[in-house]
Structure 1
Amino acid sequence: MEWWELVHALSKIFDLSENDIGLLDVDDLKKPRPPVLVEWIERESGFRLDLTFYIGVEVPSKQAGMALACRLAEALGQEILTNPPEDPDGAMSSPDSWVLALPTGEIYVVRQINPESDAVEIDRAPERMKRLRLPLMN
């Protein structure tokens, strides 16, 4: 994926100008920052791109988590992994659990094959993928 593709998709999802989305520069945190910052880390295998979004309070759309992953997957035509939602009772989810959003709109809870690895390879066996539906009701 190219940077401009991500910026274009995020600007539509958040209803912002493309100028309101910027790449996080940890060496220059003092300059005025755009409302949406993206930390972009490339990996050698598995899910090759690791993105973290920092969304300012001034952003009108409150898309986050699984809803944002679903919208991005559809907009980019790519699979997106995100963290699972928090348990209502405050329990931590397993560190090897992920939510996989597909471009088709389907979402699944999946497991990482080797949680100790920096490469995020997921178990794609259908019998171990748990389908979810948005919105999740507690």
Structure 2
Amino acid sequence: MRGEVGEERLFESIARALGVPHEEVARFDVDGPADAAVLVERALRPAGFRTDVSLYADVTRASGARGLTSVEVATRVSALLGEEAIVSPPADDPAVAVTWFLVTPDGKRFRASEASLDEDSVDIDRSTLRPE
């Protein structure tokens, strides 16, 4: 996500996007129990797209996630948060190592090349935006 998104606000948006109760979204903890339908890893970055999010969904319990791609989930969450999001292309995409999908809060999607920042940050080169 472009901005720094607080955990509570992020979890609420993910719950709404996937159609699960808020209490079914929890922080991923490798040492803790994994009894929520959706587990979330959130890291804050110093620049570029500030909130890095990884989701792990049990689609038998989060039926709203069944069949959705990561771009579709990002599109829903982006709209709910009012934040731009970038998403890795699918693993079988030949450009997966150097491009991203940019999703805007109004649902527009673009392919973009990564901009060079420090190793702890990720951003896109807006001059490379191509409608998807």
Q: TM-score range by the shorter chain?
A: 0.7 to 0.9
TM-score (norm 1): 0.82
- 2:27 equivalent to 1:26: no
- 2:124 equivalent to 1:122: yes
Q: Which residue of 1 aligns with 2:74?
A: 69
- 2:109 equivalent to 1:104: no
For residues 97-123 of structure 1, the C-alpha deviation after alignment (integer angstroms, 9 at most, x for no partner) is 100000111110011112873311210
- The answer as to whether partners of 2:88 and 2:96 remain within 8 angstroms in 1 is no
Aligned residues: 125
For residues 6-42 of structure 1, the C-alpha deviation after alignment (integer angstroms, 9 at most, x for no partner) is 12211111111101000011232xx242010001111
What residue ranges of structure 2 are gaps of 5+ in the alignment?
Answer: none
In structure 2, the CA distance between the partners of 1:117 and 1:55, relative to structure 1 (3 Å rule), is same
TM-score (norm 2): 0.85
What residue ranges of structure 1 are gaps of 5+ in the alignment?
Answer: 133-138
Residue identity (%):
26
Q: CA RMSD in A?
A: 1.8
Secondary structure of 1:103's aligned partner:
coil
Amino acid at match of 2:12: H
If asked which structure has higher relative contact order (CA below 8 Å, sep 6+), I would say 2
